[in-house]
Every structure is written in C-alpha cells, then in structure tokens.
Structure 1
Amino acid sequence: MTTLKTEVRALVVGGGAVGTAIAYHLAKAGWDTMLLERDELTSGSTWHAAGLLPLFNMSYATTHIHKYSVEFYKGLKDETGLDPGFFVVGNLRMAQTQERMDEYMLYSATAETAGVYHEFLTPKEIKERWPLVRTEDLKGALFHPQDGYINPADVTQAMAKGARQLGATIERKWQVDGYAWRGDHWEVTVTRMEDRGGNLVPTGDRATIRAEHVVTATGNHAQRTARLLGIRIPAIPVEHQYVVTEPDPALVEWRKTNPQHPVLRDADAKWYVREERGGWILGPYEEGAPARFQYGVPDSFRADLFPLDLDRIEKEYMSFIHRIPSSEHVGLKDDFNGPICYTPDGNPLVGPAPGLRNMWLAEGFSFGITAAGGTGYYLAQMMTEGEAEIDMASLDPKRFGGWMTTEYASRKNEECYAHVFILHHPDEEREACRPLRTAPAYDRQKAMGAQFGQVNGWERPNYYGPKDAPADYDHFARSFRRAAWWPYAVEEARAIRNTVGIIDASAFTKHLVSGPGATAFLDHFTCNRLPNVGRINLTYALTDHGTTRTEYTIVRLKENEYYLISAGAWTAYDSDFLLKSAEDWMAQGGGHIDIHDVTTQWGVYAMAGPNCRALLKEIVRDADPDTVLSNKRFPWLSYRDIELGMCPVRAVRVAYTGELGWELHHPIEMGRYLWDLIWSVGEKHGLKPVGARAQNWLRQEKSYRAFGNELGRDATPLEGGLDRFVDLSKDFRGKAKMLETGIRFRCVTLLIDGPADADPWGREGIFLNGERVGRLTSGGYSVAFGKQIGMGYVRPDLATPGTRLQVRMFRELWNAEVTPDSPYDPENARIRADG
C-alpha cells in the first residue's frame, strides 16, 4: 500500500531546479503543495548543467527573472542551512567588434530599466585585472560583478529543503502517466518507479492524486507531457557539450595571490569559460548541435550523456586557446554532452497551458539554473494572485500557435542554440523554417524587394529594399544604429503621409463572435461601449487585476454578430482567453455564444494616404462609385461590404498610420487577385508598398499604443492614457481593480533630439536630472518631425506636455520632450478627410 498524499492544492511535476523553485514559492505563498519526481532530484539536465548565472538578457521579463534568481540564491544558505555553492565571481562579456559593443550598450538600456548593475571595461582595464586574458584584439567588455556560477545540484537541494520547511511534500520515484480534468480539479494518475539493473522501471504500485492546480516542469520529458495533455509544447532538447581541462599552471600560480576569474564570455567566438579546480570549463555554442528526443526520452535514458563530438567544437576550442594562451598545452580532464531544452525563440514557456484549466507550464529552459528562482517567484504570483507583478506575456506558452509541428520546433531550437552568442540585433530575423506561412501575394511582394519578418509563423514585409537584392540582403542590412533598411522605411513612411501606401496585414488575428449571448458577453468582456451595427470601435479586454489583457477592434456586423481584430503575433493567446471567458460566461447563465478563429480565412490589405480614396474609386464596383467611399456613405470608424473588381471586401474605415485609409478584409484565396487589381491603377496615384517598420514609426506619430509594447498586463488602460476608450458608466471585467489601482505611471509620447545615426528601439530609460523616471516601450524615427520619436511610461507628474526629459542611448543622455497625444494631425483632419 502506498502512503502517497492523494489530495493537494498544487502538484508540481518535475524535480529539477525549476520544479523545486516553483514548489518552494507556492509553499511560501501558503498553498498545500506536492512535488513529484520520476527519478531523483536533479536527474535531468540539472545534474550536468554548468551552473552559470548570467544576468545578461535582452528580454525585460527574463531580465527580472534572472535578477530575482541571483538575489534569491544568495539567501538560501541562511534560510536552509544548505550551501548552494554560489561563487559570486562576476561575469565578463567581451567584445571583439564595435557592433558587439553596440549590442552591449543596447542591453545596458534594458538592464538599467530593470535595475541590474553593470560596468563597461576597456581592454586595458581587462588586462590589468586579469593578465591571463589576451586583450589586444578586443574593443572592450561588459562586466556584471554581482553574478557568477553556482552548484546546480546543491542549489536544487537547498530549494527542496526550503520547500519542505515551508510545508511542501516532495516525493521521488513517482511517474505521472495520465491527467484528467474533472471540472474543478485534476485527477493525476501516477506509478511508482524503481531501479532495476540500472534502469528505471514501473512497479505495480499506482495511485491517483486530486490536485486543484498542476504545474509541469518536466524538462527533457516535455514531449511526453504534451502527449499526456493532448497539447503541443515546442520544448525539445539540443545537445550541449562542454569540456573540463587539467589544471593550468599559469592559472594555479595566479590563484595563489588572486581571486577567481569571472565567468568569461567571448561572444564573438561563441563560448563561455570559468575556472574549475585550477583548470577551465569551456562551453561552446557551435553550429550543428542536433536536437534530440523529438518524440520523447527513451526509458533507458536517465542521468546519461551523449558521445562527445570534438570535431564540432574545434573552432571554438582554438579560439579559447587564443583568448587564454596559457591553456594551449593543458590537457582535457573531462567532458559532458547532454540534452538542454530550447524553444523556437529561446525563451521558456511559463504560464497557463493552452486550452486547459488550472494547468501551468514551466518548460523549455535553456538557462534553467539562472531562471529557476525567478520563474518560481513569478509563476507562483500568477497562480496564487492572478497576475505577476511584471508582464509575463512574452513567456506565455500560447505565443506559439497550433500550426507548429515537431519538425519546426526541432529546427528552430537548433537554430536558437547556435544563436546564443550571435549579435542580437533588435531588427534580427532568423532564417530557419522559412517561408512557412505565406499570404497569397507573397511572391508578388518578394519580386518588389520585400524583406520579410516572421510573425506567428506568417511572412510579413518589414520593408521593401532593392528589387535585385541578394537573398541574404536583410542579414547584412541589420545594425544597432540606422541600418541599410532605414532609408527605404523613410520613403515608405513618406508615401503614406504624401500619396498612398499598401501594407499586407493578413497576419492580424480575427475572430467571429455570434449568438444570442454575444452582445451581453462582449459588453462585459471589454471596457468600451459596443459599436452600433455597421460601425467599429476600439476596446480592451482587461485582466481580473484591471490591467490590459488584449486590444480589439470590434466590427459589429449584425445585432448579435461581431468581427474581432487583434494583434497578429497573439492569435492563440487571444483565442484561448476569449474562449475560456465565453465558457465562464455561459456557465454563469449567459446566453449561447459561438466563437470561431477565422484568421486564416481573411486576408487584409491596409491602405492609407491622401490618395487612397481616389485609387479605390477606380476599382470599386457600385452604382455610384464617386460617393460610395465618401464620408456620407462611408464615414470614419464604420464598415461596409463592397466589391473591388471581382473581390468581395469587408472594408473597415480605420488606419493605424493616422491617414485617410481603409483595411480591406478579403477572402484570403483572392489575395493575389486583389493585390494585382490595386496595383493595376496604383502607380499613377503614387502607390508604394509599405512594411511593418514604417508603419511602426507612423503609429507613434499618432500616439497609437501597441499591444506588447505600451499595452500589457502590467498597466491599466487608464495608465496607458486610453481614457476615451473606457466607458465608466457600465460594468465590465476588471473595472473595480482598475479603479482601485489608480494611476501609478502614465504613457507619453516623446520627441527626442538623439544621435545623428541612431533611433531608440523602445528599451531605453527615461531620465530627469540624472534620475531614471521611466522607460521607453517603443521607439523609432518621425518623418513628420525629422527626429527620433518614442513612447513609454513616466511618473504621472512628468506626463504633462512640454516636460523636458532625457533618453539614454549608447550610454549618453539625449534631450526629449513630452508631446501632446497625437503630435501629428491632433485634430484627425486627415483621417476624416472627405472627397
């Protein structure tokens, strides 16, 4: 008979560093928590991890996670009595090129807004501190003195002990074999495992655990977890190898009178190095490391390793010898080649599982030791309080849609591994698995010079470069400053301001919501009043904490039929929230609601510019083509079903760029026909194809907020300056919490007198008299004002137009001024223009 506890509030599955950190923080929050591990604690990737704790990360959310981990680990010994083996030696990230230094300066902006301390060092300063390092070919380095490395097994055991002290139960040798949702709890079927001849095999001892919430932190076993849950989890391991050298006599001599070297990273050579018992650990991130266990980990694979492939890392090993010449004649003592999970974008999957209730994922950690503590902290907040104190949407598991396959995830994860140390340009677009999802006019756009980005798998033009550009043009057009694409985006922006431009926006997320309960549901689900039939409105769905969960353009087709348009990058994220909210509404007695994701059924061309109406008049089919697009028959913020040539179009009079314009929603299979039809008359009206980068600049001139930038789960619509889209006369989800939160900060638009060769990217700090008072969330160039522009959040007392502030770019402060909202055409005369 088993004595396993069979009822808990939270069940954590997986006993690596991530799982134990989650169990610790749930227990600390007062939840009855149990952790199950199929083998021994740390028997997954944790045991062979190098234990590095890099604070460096370009993601705002992940930076906070890493920062929390580093501080949390420092207090574990005092709390638990177990030493986690944290060596605070610092982290030196070297740069061989100015481009790499530019990357570090952009990172510096992100780190500064998150409160992560760092320093910049010259080659001379590096050599003075650490003479074993060759520096004559370096430009400098970024130094984090407060991080270092830790013993992965020890920190995991310390967190496990801390979890037990807080009341959590930890059980080893229990494997989960099934999950069943029973309406208000999970029934989790588990089997006792035992060692038998070196293999881990099931016994006849089985049990069922009733859990209100389940968290999976199953590491390399994520594909098995996905099959048990009936979902897709694009977390697949990639081989990572590192070698340990024999003692280096020069290092041994150095250590007689000096402290440890920091963790050394030569990003341009694609490796890290740290000291290990008088020698060195070298960890390369080379090309060609293969994905493993795409369909599950074999039962025979426990705390095992793969054969080393030294040929694959020869280039990195030679560059290590170059950087630390004393290592040339030092032999190899040990080697490791084990699986480490990756995801297609390199960030972990943290948050609610798609389509499931009370099921939480914590999977795909390529830097699991660094992220474990912070993941436990913020995920526990999401589970116990409803939201984390930072916006975790960038790590949400639903950022990858149902179109993703095993092969896609495998190839992208391999690419992600090889890209750990590449230059991470803000305009970076990775090439693996592309093109995959294409709109019908893709080939037409490519022939026009379109350089594409990928959004939720869709190919979307970022800008239109030279028509005869080589295939790898965009790769060499990137920079941390104004790159080769910049003049093309400027001309595209000017075309929309002066003539007319066309943007392929087919990636927009689109939902059809209908049924007798649709109107009452949407009225409560969103914060603005619903539009009348034939009209549209911009509105927001809020979290239960009153912050912004999703932005919608709502088109009211009929009395109880609505067409919802939201951001293209967030289809599964929006769909999951919409469906679950509607299910809850109906369960509480609301009328029946039908919801359909119609994203792939409708293509979208956004056309805008002063010549837009004249162009469309030539191809519209109507009894009176001269007036069908007039303000009288087709006013701003309305929709009409029209015909353009042979194509039926759901035309929506709105323009994200702030000019006269329409969104032309059309049956996606007619996208090529409609594209050709528009271009058959377009050139005489000055039509120009326009990409996403110019559109991003133009929307900032109108102070249009963007979801994922200005809008997210860490600010309310009122803090976002969206008062006119909030109807306080009605009841809606999150209203009370929104009002209770008040105004902690305000979203503003800034015009910036910045450097002549660069624009802000939306990650920079905002300052007043040397004190950081906010941060940018968007940035770019304004063709209307001939200077840099940005949007971001500042203290409420600084949000008044005319307030003079500064923005830090490339380590210098540049003057900026808060403008009134919509500095370009504040009266909306151009977007309302008649004709």
Structure 2
Amino acid sequence: MMKELPSSAKVVVIGGGIIGCSTAYHLGKLGLTDTVLLERKKLTSGTTFHAAGLVGQLRTSANITQLLGHSVSLYKMLEAETGLGTGWRMNGGLRLACNSERWTEVKRQATTAHSFGLEMHLLTPKEAQDLWPLMQVDDVVGAAFLPTDGQANPSDITQALAKGARMAGVSIFEDTEVIDLEIDKGKIRAVITERGRIECEKVVVCAGQWTRAFGARFGVNVPLVSVQHQYMITEAFGVPSNLPTLRDPDRLTYYKEEVGGLVMGGYEPNPIGWAENGIPEGFHYTLLDSNFDHFEPIMELALGRVPALETAGIKQLLNGPESFTPDGNFILGEAPELKNFFVGAGFNAFGIASGGGAGMALAEWAVKGEAPYDLWPVDIRRFGRPHFDTDWVRTRTYEAYGKHYTLAWPFEENQSGRPARKSPLYASLKAQGACFGEKLGWERPNWFADLSTGEKAEDVYSFGRQNWFDAVGREHRAAREAAVLFDQTSFAKFALKGRDAEAALQWIAANNVGRKHGTLTYTQMLNDKGGIECDLTCARIAEDEYYIVTGTGFATHDFDWIARNIPDGLNASLVDVTSAWTVLSLMGPKARDILASVTSADVSSSALPFGQFRTIGIAGAPVRALRITYVGELGYELHLPVEYAGAVYALLMEKGAAAGLVNGGYRAIESLRLEKFYRAWGSDIGPDHTPVEAGLSWAVKMKSGIAFRGREAIERQLKSGVKKFLACFTVEDPDVVLLGRETIYRNGQRAGWLTSGGFGYTIGKSIGIGYVRDPNGVTAEHVLSGDYELEVATERVKAKVSIQPLYDAESGRVKM
C-alpha cells in the first residue's frame, strides 16, 4: 500500500535522480525534515541509471572545483553512514596530452589545480603507462594524475543518498507525477500531483532533461536540450580493479574499469540530438537504439590507445539521452522569473561528479536564500534572451558538446547561432575589419584588422601571443595617445522609476546614489556578507528616475538582484531598456576636442565634469553624454536612441579623423583596464569578495549613516581586518602570457591565484590581478612587503606587486 502524501511541506524536490536525491539529503542534514521528494517513476529512472560514473574535480573555477570536491568528500563516507554500497573507488584520474599545445593546456591545468589546493602530478608517458598498463603511449607527450579523482556506481550512490535523506527525516515518494504548480500573485503555494496537493513554500526542480519543458509552463527558462550519448561496456578481460579513470581528450575518449572490463565512451564532434519535439510519454528506464555507425570513429580512436579492445568482447553499446547546455556548464539556482523556484539540471554527462556538491549548494540556496559561495559559472542567471529560443539553444549546445574534449583555447569564441543580436553599426564595423566576439547573443567587436595591409578579421588560437596581439596594441595606443571609439551597445541598461526610486536604490547600492540630477554614481551592490553582487553605474535622471548601466553578460543577474531587493511597500519599478539605447564610448586625450566638434553644447570640464552627465545634441540625436571611463583616459559614454546610431557614429568618425580617432574593440578595453587596475565583476570581484578586500572601500557610503544591504558586514571587516586583499602583478618577460588562475607565491609560499590576466601595451608588460591570501590576516603593508613569484604553466617567474594603478593618464607616467 502506498504511503499517503503529506498535505504540506517546507520544500518539495521534484526529480529522483542523483541531483534530486542529493538535494533532499542535504536539506535533511540542514534540519528541514519536512522536505518531500517526488519522483514520477522510480529513483534513477530518468538518466542517472545509465550514467558512466566518472568523478573528476578540476574545473577552471576555484569554487566549482570546491563544489566537485564536496562530492568526493561525501562519496567517501556515504557507505559508512547509510550501510548501502556506492561503488565509490578513489583510484585517481589520468589525463593524457598528445601534442605540445595540449601539454601546455595540461600544465596550465596543473597550475590551476595547485592554486586551488588540489593535488595534481605531471607524469612522463612511461609513468602514465605504469598506472594504466593497457594503453600504448607512442604518441603521448605527458599526462596529469589527480589522486583524489575516482568513480562510482550511479544508481547505488543515488539510493544511498536517498536512504541518507530518509534517515534525516525526508519523505520520498516514487510513482508520483507532478501535474502542476499552484501559483498565486507570483508566489508558489502548492505542488499538484496525480495523488493530491502538497502545500509548500519552495520547489527545487531536478528533473533532468524534462526540466526545460516543465519550467517553461511557469515562465521559467532552463536552457538545455537532450543529446544522445553512447559508451561501450566490454566483457571482462583481466582489467585490474585499481585502474584510474582515464581521459584521452586528443582521441575524444574516456575509460573506467568495470567488473574486469572497460567502459569506454567519447564526445564526437557531430552529436545527435533526441526528442526535438518533446520527450515521449512514459519514457523511463529506457535506452535508445545503439548507433554503431556513429560510434565507429570513436572506436577507431580508442583502438589506437587500447589495442586490447580489438579482441575484447562487447557486452553492450549503451545509448542514453543526457541533458546538455549551451556552454557546457550545469544550471543551478533560483529562477529569476519565479521566486522560490530552484533549478538543478543540465549536467552535461557529469552529473555523478557534480551530484554531491550540487545538492549541497541547492539545499543551502533554498534554505538560506543564497548560494554557499560564488557559483556564477553555473548560475541560472547567466542566461538571457537568446536562450528562450529552443532552436538557438540546441544549435549552441551541439557546438558545446562537440567541444567537450577539444583544446580549450584562451579567448575562444563560439561560432554557432551567430549573429543573433546586433548593434545598428554591425555591418559598418564589419566592413571596416571588425572581428566580432559574442556575449549573451550580442555581437561585439573584439578587435579590428587593418584590411589595407591584408590582415584578416579572424582569430587564430594558440597558448602564446595570438594573431590579434599587434592589432589590439594599435587600438590601445590610440586610446592613450589620441582617441578611440568603442561600440558598447550591448551594455545592459535599466530604468528604475517611481516616487521611491531613491529610497529603494539607497538600500540596494553600497555607494551614495542620493545625489543631484545629472550625477553618475559608480557603486557595488552587496549581499548580507558584504560580497559584491553587482558592479555598475547609476545616472540620476530625475527626482523619480535612475538610468542603470551594467555589463552585457550580467543583464539577467543584475536585473534580478535589483528587482528582488526593492523593499516591500516602496513605489519603484525596474524596466530593462537595453534594446532602446546605442552606446558609443569615445575615449582618449583628444576625446573632448572631438566631442566639441560635433555638438554646440558646452562639454568643457567645468560644464561636464567627471562623474556627471548631460543631454546634448549630436546629428539631431538627444545624447546622454556620461563623463566616465573604464580605460583610464578622458572619455565619454554616449548613450543615444538606437535609430540615431548610424548618423552619430558617421559624424564622430568624420570629425575625429584628423585627431587620429580609430575604432576599438573589447580586447583593447581589457588591456587598458588592467593597466588602470580596474576590477571586473565575475573575475576580480563577486559575491565572495567585499569592497574592503577589493580595495573599493572608497565607493561605500560608510560615513553617510544611510542604511544599505551589507553595511553591517562591511563595518565588521573594517574593524577586524580581512584575510585577502586584491593586488596587481607584472612580470618583466613580455613573452610570459598571463591568462588568470596562475598561482601567486609570496615569500615562497602559495598565497592565492590570479583572477585576471593580460598585457599592458603602455607599460610593455604582462599584467595579472589576484588576491593575496593569508588566514592570519592581510593588510596593504603585508601585500607590499612580500617577494612574489607567479606559477605559469608549472614554471615560476618573478613578479612585482602593486595596489595602485600601473599607469596615470593625467601625467602619462608609468608607475611600475
């Protein structure tokens, strides 16, 4: 007889795969015993049951690596806690490199691992073969070994998590399909199942490949699609049980031992989708037909590595659909479209590796209202308008699948689904040699080729200096010596309106936005720990209106943060006006002269000082001229209605020609901002970093007496000090390429990692930004008193440190 459903619960988890069971387990551990997990069929019957079960940890983000490390820690003790076998074996993981550039990538990964405190060893081909004697290594240049990687049995580990959840008081119901959600005035009231109604406050949807369609019913966008993924299981042929997992990315394949045989799968460059018109009704515990023809190229690549596969018996070629995402990262967090609707889905065939940590993060997110630490690479709010179109999502996802094991080149751009969102100037800029990148669907000029000399507007990737290096240098120097024009139309732009707009924004913003009309305020927005959730500019348009400008990729995230934090009862509403405004950023020492030549308005320093804006006329357009800069030079962001873009751009280029005005792209912006030690959200600053730690205390209104979110945390830090502090590093050798994630050593001891890296053309040096860390406390004096090295692809190089900008625009003086 089936157990009766409860009439109410605090949290309902939908989906009984590894992610749902892990979330329920962790909710139970947090004391939420009135949690209910609902599974429409049987636990693991969606995609978990056919997962391969490899558990690797290293990612490019320290926090995602930490999250995967939580999975390992959990899996090590779960059997002892629950009494159920999990199949967990920590035999380590090998990753091969078969050419010089892959070996460079692996060495950079080793440096990243060391930065994050993860043990990783570089091996010779013979040492790798000693660990994995079944393989031939004639083409292997080297290998990496992570001792704490491992493997698990997906179904067993999920059942153990489910038992652990039950032991903590969580109720689990199988054969219970969720039919609907009851939502009243934007709030979740109940989950409606085929067996009855459960009143609840929060829902966590971990429904795998079903999550996109389910979320869409309630206006929630979850960008994932189903892709067929195959792996082969051999008969036993004497494979030792202590074999590490093996990833052979140059041959697109992975391996693990199973019952004396091997599991071997891969990521083909031409994936096959599934269920493009919807998942069949009742689909569960179901595999797809094996596609031997499609798998044959993978098999041929594998035979070159493991010749014994040629004679090994094939037990099964397993073909199961998995949910994949447009960027290859999974999806976690509270949906921006619906409060208390949490998502954990799109695990790109590494759900077992992620399961323990993802469940922990989702549980804490649901209970505490925020992630346990910055999870921006997997945050659901990283998506935006293009991701509502399933066809676009599918096209981009197939590209991401095909790149799963390809070299992860620095600065690599996606090619599929482009162009999608274009500035009005796109065609004109393309004709002038723009090489475009893409962010959140927007086409943005990264750099400009000199077509007159035969330069081609296309990226050629490498781990050294790439083909655009000199072109970006030209744009950089123009910004320092003359003037440059950047098309930044892709900026996310919001209007905050209402009689209480100032009161609302004063609570949300850390800086004082209560200034007079025509004033710009650069500000962070903080969480309760003082962490930086947003980093943006607010322009005071009127008594009851602000114009807010933030980064292209943060449109969904920042809009969600601001809208959610408007205090109850205040009259203030937020509207996304991104598509209404073109932005032309005119930067450089000759910017004022050029601007004065195209308008009759007074743009002198006295009439339009730094930190102010005025509405001026250019070519018939009403232009908001914001006196602000992200490149460290005299400059203006010119915000104008999109229909005027062509005319204003043409006039600026015509009048600016004599002054040396040129087009510029985002890679020059990056180079220029590094020299000025300007911070970038998502790398240098974020929810785990406070203004005090980031050297931005000057932008916090502590002396105002005005209450704002995060104020108490900042007060505590100012009194007690911090354990990390942001600094800027340079190396003398211009051939050393800094990309970010290189390890910082202070006085010979590991002290952190770089958050950003690049080259400063004015100072002629590579530049890195990163936090110097010490559990005993860090001050500016501590930072400056150290002797520094940076580990770059396992090699240590001497570095100089600064906590000030490296270049001063007013004097033109290099400071380092």
Q: Same fold (TM over 0.5)?
A: yes
Equivalent in 501, 519, 525 of residue 541 of structure 1: 525
Q: 1:728-807 alignment to 2 at 5 Å? A: 728=702, 729=704, 730-741=706-717, 742-753=720-731, 755-795=733-773, 796-797=777-778, 799-800=780-781, 801=784, 803-807=786-790
Q: 1:627-650 deviations in whole A, cap 9, x for unaligned?
A: x12111111111011122233211
Deviates more, 1:300-309 or 1:380-389: 380-389
- 8 Å contact kept, 1:184–1:212: no
Alignment partner, residue 616 of structure 1: 595
- For 1:802 and 1:694, the matched residues in 2 are separated by 32
Letter in 2 for 1:270: L
Alignment partner, residue 453 of structure 1: 437
RMSD between superposed Cα atoms in Å: 2.1
- 8 Å contact kept, 2:385–2:440: no
Confirm whether residue 167 of structure 1 aligns to residue 145 of structure 2.
no
The share of aligned pairs that are identical, in percent, is 36
Alignment partner, residue 632 of structure 1: 606
Q: Residues 755 and 301 of structure 1: is their aligned pair in 2 closer, same or farther, counting only changes over 3 Å?
A: farther
Alignment partner, residue 319 of structure 1: 301
Confirm whether residue 424 of structure 1 aligns to residue 408 of structure 2.
yes
Q: CA deviation at 1:472?
A: 9.2
SS in structure 1 of the partner of residue 148 of structure 2 = coil
Q: CA deviation at 1:740?
A: 3.0
Q: CA deviation at 1:285?
A: 0.4
Alignment partner, residue 396 of structure 1: 379
Q: CA deviation at 1:527?
A: 1.2
- For 1:338 and 1:823, the matched residues in 2 are separated by 54
Q: Residues 656 and 830 of structure 1: is their aligned pair in 2 closer, same or farther, counting only changes over 3 Å?
A: farther
- For 1:806 and 1:375, the matched residues in 2 are separated by 34
- 8 Å contact kept, 1:387–1:545: no
Q: Residues 754 and 13 of structure 1: is their aligned pair in 2 closer, same or farther, counting only changes over 3 Å?
A: farther
Alignment partner, residue 598 of structure 1: 577
Equivalent in 634, 648, 665 of residue 622 of structure 2: 648
SS in structure 2 of the partner of residue 533 of structure 1 = coil
Equivalent in 659, 662, 665 of residue 633 of structure 2: 659
- For 1:296 and 1:548, the matched residues in 2 are separated by 40
Letter in 2 for 1:570: F
Q: Residues 754 and 314 of structure 1: is their aligned pair in 2 closer, same or farther, counting only changes over 3 Å?
A: farther
Q: Residues 33 and 738 of structure 1: is their aligned pair in 2 closer, same or farther, counting only changes over 3 Å?
A: farther
Alignment partner, residue 382 of structure 1: 365
SS in structure 1 of the partner of residue 200 of structure 2 = strand
- 8 Å contact kept, 2:486–2:663: yes
Alignment partner, residue 527 of structure 1: 510
Letter in 1 for 2:179: D
Equivalent in 478, 503, 510 of residue 486 of structure 2: 503
- For 1:680 and 1:88, the matched residues in 2 are separated by 65
SS in structure 2 of the partner of residue 229 of structure 1 = coil
Deviates more, 1:306-315 or 1:151-160: 306-315
- 8 Å contact kept, 2:585–2:637: yes
Q: Residues 6 and 228 of structure 1: is their aligned pair in 2 closer, same or farther, counting only changes over 3 Å?
A: farther
- 8 Å contact kept, 1:748–1:818: no
Q: CA deviation at 1:287?
A: 2.1
Letter in 2 for 1:409: V
Confirm whether residue 35 of structure 1 aligns to residue 24 of structure 2.
no
- For 2:411 and 2:58, the matched residues in 1 are separated by 19
Q: 1:668-707 alignment to 2 at 5 Å? A: 668-707=642-681
Alignment partner, residue 353 of structure 1: 335
SS in structure 1 of the partner of residue 451 of structure 2 = coil
- 8 Å contact kept, 1:607–1:663: yes
Alignment partner, residue 567 of structure 1: 551
- 8 Å contact kept, 2:737–2:766: yes
Alignment partner, residue 355 of structure 2: 372
Deviates more, 1:505-514 or 1:286-295: 286-295
Deviates more, 1:124-133 or 1:74-83: 124-133
Alignment partner, residue 699 of structure 2: 725
- 8 Å contact kept, 2:55–2:353: yes
Q: Residues 184 and 318 of structure 1: is their aligned pair in 2 closer, same or farther, counting only changes over 3 Å?
A: closer
- For 1:127 and 1:360, the matched residues in 2 are separated by 44
- For 2:608 and 2:680, the matched residues in 1 are separated by 26
Alignment partner, residue 89 of structure 2: 87
- 8 Å contact kept, 1:449–1:469: no
- For 1:502 and 1:636, the matched residues in 2 are separated by 18
Q: CA deviation at 1:387?
A: 3.1
- For 1:100 and 1:277, the matched residues in 2 are separated by 32
Q: 1:390-430 deviations in whole A, cap 9, x for unaligned?
A: 21122211211134211011111111111110111231111
Q: 1:92-171 alignment to 2 at 5 Å? A: 92-171=94-173
Flag structure 1 segments of 5+ consecutive residues without an equivalent: 193-205, 623-627
Flag structure 2 segments of 5+ consecutive residues without an equivalent: none
Alignment partner, residue 10 of structure 2: 9
Q: CA deviation at 1:473?
A: 6.3
- 8 Å contact kept, 1:127–1:135: yes
TM-score when normalising by structure 2: 0.94
TM-score when normalising by structure 1: 0.92
Letter in 1 for 2:803: P
Equivalent in 310, 318, 328 of residue 336 of structure 1: 318
SS in structure 2 of the partner of residue 8 of structure 1 = coil
Q: 1:406-464 deviations in whole A, cap 9, x for unaligned?
A: 10111111111111101112311111101111101111222222221111110111122
SS in structure 1 of the partner of residue 150 of structure 2 = coil
- 8 Å contact kept, 2:722–2:778: no
Q: Residues 243 and 593 of structure 1: is their aligned pair in 2 closer, same or farther, counting only changes over 3 Å?
A: same
- 8 Å contact kept, 1:555–1:563: yes
Alignment partner, residue 201 of structure 1: none
- For 1:189 and 1:549, the matched residues in 2 are separated by 31
Q: 1:544-594 deviations in whole A, cap 9, x for unaligned?
A: 232111112111111221111111101111112222222xx2x3x32x113
Letter in 2 for 1:446: K
Q: Residues 188 and 290 of structure 1: is their aligned pair in 2 closer, same or farther, counting only changes over 3 Å?
A: farther
- For 2:721 and 2:456, the matched residues in 1 are separated by 47
Equivalent in 243, 246, 250 of residue 235 of structure 2: 246
Q: Residues 492 and 174 of structure 1: is their aligned pair in 2 closer, same or farther, counting only changes over 3 Å?
A: same
Deviates more, 1:700-709 or 1:679-688: 679-688
Q: Residues 799 and 243 of structure 1: is their aligned pair in 2 closer, same or farther, counting only changes over 3 Å?
A: same
Number of residue pairs matched by the alignment = 799
- For 2:108 and 2:730, the matched residues in 1 are separated by 17
- 8 Å contact kept, 2:748–2:788: no
Q: 1:511-561 deviations in whole A, cap 9, x for unaligned?
A: 111221101111111111113211111011111232111112111111221
